[in-house]
């Protein structure tokens, strides 16, 4: 079963498990088979026995240098690929005005496939360089450009859920919306054509923008389509938006109830933000197995609110981190890690009884938590035997790097707080053989 030269083995691993937010496995050895799956992860002292059993040569074991470790690839559970052009700018307005002023005019340009190819290539390359090996993308309403995003992610080796955006209501920027039937038909075409490509790591996700820009008929139709598929949208990001949804859907008990009533709250649903969800709504999330994407950078930049992560976890709702580019001004999950810790501390300032998040907990959110939120935890998220070896090789001792290492250091914490991209040389996100 194992090809001698192609079985790689390495020695120091940092990951999360079901029981521990952070587990550090020093002097361990990990094996990967031809298809890129982890075949063993054991103490280094067992390497001779493993070499015999698994049929590899110990001379082929690759040793990590000082300051190096492997961690799971990071998961961005919510990012708008189409907003990458203006990332880092246009952060002066709250959500609804921000959408009308900056977002919709830019997104309407993706009819132009040349423009789409250029931006989508750049955003996939950028997120990969930042250590995002899995991303859950919003594209735009344009089917062909959305298919192109899937192709680019596949070409460049990123695991991705790709959503063609659906919206049939847009009074302020009416040139950027679809007709009801068009939205349904194009969603079906998008799903069909993307699945036909049989990309091993790229799948479609049904994507109504949010309740504000979708008619009840469109949500119903998408609920039918999304029964067995992934589904993503936005929820309770900003108070003005929550009020507007109440007015638009007077028969629904809450924002969550809007998605629930239209069949869109399933165990393959991921909803961005949720800053203003009530406990009742969180209970509905839990009951239906739906997840939340926590996007702290965006929540601060657009002055939306702060998610109480401890309360979400108390309700046992699955949770991952998202950059929400371009509401968030960074395409790096490391940045989301830092913002998640900082915003949890702001909540602690306001409510001293609330414990801030620890770096271990946020490491979990960036990796295993994200994989659970996207229902991909059977394939990625940590270094369990049988999962894909989807990993970042981190070196904290690069000359000229952004931090100095001292003997007593908690290296992973320093890396999470101070790590920078050029210095995070990722290799072998899914080792692709033959
Ligand atoms: N709600 C609906 N659309 C969007 C979007 O593009 N970005 C954010 N942050 N929230 C939204
Ligand atoms: Zn978003």
Best of 76, 79, 80 for a ligand 1 pocket test (most atoms within 8 Å of beta carbon)? 80
- The confidence score (pLDDT) of residue 338 equals 98
Asked if residue 433 has pLDDT above 50, the reply is no
- The confidence score (pLDDT) of residue 10 equals 54
Which ligand gives the minimal distance to the CA of 238?
1
Which ligand gives the minimal distance to the CA of 106?
1
- The confidence score (pLDDT) of residue 341 equals 98
Answer yes or no: is the C-beta of 158 below 6 A from any ligand 1 atom: no
Best of 96, 166, 272 for a ligand 1 pocket test (most atoms within 8 Å of beta carbon)? 272
Q: How far is the CA of 139 from the centre of ligand 1 (A)?
A: 12
Mean pLDDT computed over 315-319:
98
What percent of the chain lies above the pLDDT cut of 70? 94
Q: How many CB atoms lie within 10 A of CB 219?
A: 22
Question: What residues sit around ligand 2, an ion, with C-beta below 5 angstroms?
Answer: 272, 324
Residues with Cβ within 8 Å of residue 288, at least 6 apart in sequence: 260, 265, 266, 267, 269
Which ligand gives the minimal distance to the CA of 136?
2
Length of the chain: 434
Mean pLDDT computed over 80-92:
98
Q: Hey, what are 395's tokens?
A: 């070196």
Answer yes or no: is the C-beta of 234 below 6 A from any ligand 1 atom: yes
- The confidence score (pLDDT) of residue 406 equals 87
Say if CB 74 and CB 369 are below 8 A apart.
no
Phi, psi of 50 (to 5 degrees): -60, -40
- Of 393, 382, 237, 229, the residue nearest 301 (C-alpha): 237
ω before 326 within 30° of 0 (cis)?
Answer: yes
Name the residue with higher pLDDT: 5 or 415. Answer: 415
Answer yes or no: is the C-beta of 99 below 6 A from any ligand 1 atom: yes
What does DSSP say about strands 269-273 and 291-294: parallel, antiparallel, or unpaired?
A: parallel
Answer yes or no: is the C-beta of 79 below 6 A from any ligand 1 atom: no
Residues with Cβ within 8 Å of residue 2, at least 6 apart in sequence: 31, 33, 34, 39, 54, 55, 56
Answer yes or no: is the C-beta of 291 below 6 A from any ligand 1 atom: no
Please state the separation of Cα 279 from the chain's center in Å: 24
Answer yes or no: is the C-beta of 237 below 6 A from any ligand 1 atom: yes
Element (H, E) at 239: helix 239-248
Beta-ladder partners of 230: 205
Burial-class residue 114 by CB neighbours within 10 Å (0-12, 13-18, 19+): exposed
Answer yes or no: is the C-beta of 78 below 6 A from any ligand 1 atom: no
Q: Hey, what are 284's tokens?
A: 């509905």
Confidence of residue 422 (pLDDT cuts 50, 70, 90): low
Q: How far is the CA of 272 from the centre of ligand 1 (A)?
A: 9
Confidence of residue 428 (pLDDT cuts 50, 70, 90): very low
- Of 258, 341, 333, the residue nearest 307 (C-alpha): 341
Confidence of residue 293 (pLDDT cuts 50, 70, 90): very high
Answer yes or no: is the C-beta of 327 below 6 A from any ligand 1 atom: yes
Mean pLDDT computed over 190-206:
98
Specify the ligand 1 atom closest to the Cα of 324: 9
3-state secondary structure of 66: coil
- Based on C-alpha coordinates, what's the Rg of the chain? 22
Please state the separation of Cα 429 from the chain's center in Å: 15
Q: How far is the CA of 57 from the centre of ligand 2 (A)?
A: 48
pTM: 0.95
- The confidence score (pLDDT) of residue 67 equals 84
Answer yes or no: is the C-beta of 95 below 6 A from any ligand 1 atom: yes
Q: Say how far apart CA 242 and CA 239 lie, in whole Å.
A: 5
Asked if residue 177 has pLDDT above 80, the reply is yes
Which ligand gives the minimal distance to the CA of 213?
1
Answer yes or no: is the C-beta of 159 below 6 A from any ligand 1 atom: no
Say if CB 224 and CB 208 are below 8 A apart.
no
């Amino acid at each position: 079963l194992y090809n001698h030269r192609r079985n790689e083995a390495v020695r120091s691993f940092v990951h999360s498990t079901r029981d521990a937010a952070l587990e550090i496995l020093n002097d361990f050895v990990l094996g990967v088979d031809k298809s890129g799956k982890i075949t063993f992860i054991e103490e280094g002292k067992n390497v001779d026995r493993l070499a015999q059993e698994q049929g590899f040569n110990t001379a082929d074991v690759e040793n990590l240098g000082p300051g190096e470790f492997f961690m799971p690839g990071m998961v961005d559970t919510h990012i708008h690929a189409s907003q990458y052009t203006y990332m880092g700018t246009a952060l002066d307005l709250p959500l609804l005005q921000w959408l009308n002023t900056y977002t919709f005019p830019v997104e309407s340009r993706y009819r132009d496939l040349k423009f789409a190819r250029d931006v989508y290539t750049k955003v996939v390359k950028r997120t990969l360089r930042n250590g995002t090996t899995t991303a859950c993308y919003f594209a735009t309403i344009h089917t062909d450009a959305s298919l192109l995003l899937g192709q680019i992610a596949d070409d460049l080796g990123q695991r991705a859920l790709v959503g063609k955006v659906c919206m049939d209501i847009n009074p302020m920027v009416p040139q950027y919306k679809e007709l009801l039937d068009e939205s349904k038909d194009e969603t079906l075409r998008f799903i069909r054509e993307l699945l036909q490509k049989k990309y091993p790591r790229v799948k479609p996700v049904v994507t109504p923008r949010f309740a504000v820009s979708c008619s009840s008929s469109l949500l119903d139709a998408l609920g039918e389509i999304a029964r067995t598929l992934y589904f993503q949208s936005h929820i309770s990001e900003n108070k003005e938006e929550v009020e507007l949804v109440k007015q638009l859907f007077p028969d629904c008990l809450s924002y969550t109830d809007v998605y629930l009533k239209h069949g869109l709250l399933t165990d393959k649903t991921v909803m961005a933000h949720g800053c203003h969800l009530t406990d009742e709504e969180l209970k509905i999330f839990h009951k239906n197995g739906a997840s939340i994407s926590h996007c702290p950078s965006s929540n601060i930049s657009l002055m939306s609110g702060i998610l109480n992560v401890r309360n979400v976890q108390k309700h046992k709702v699955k949770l991952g981190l998202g950059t929400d580019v371009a509401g968030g001004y960074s395409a790096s999950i490391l940045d989301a890690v830092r913002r998640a810790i900082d915003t949890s501390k702001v909540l602690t300032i306001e409510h001293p009884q609330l414990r801030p998040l620890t770096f271990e907990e946020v490491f979990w959110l960036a990796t295993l938590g994200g994989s659970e939120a996207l229902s991909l935890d059977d394939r990625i998220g940590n270094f369990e035997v049988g999962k894909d070896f989807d990993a970042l090789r981190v070196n904290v001792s690069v000359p000229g790097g952004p931090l100095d290492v001292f003997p007593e250091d908690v290296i992973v914490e320093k890396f999470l707080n101070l790590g920078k991209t050029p210095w995070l040389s990722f290799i072998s996100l899914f080792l692709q053989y033959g």
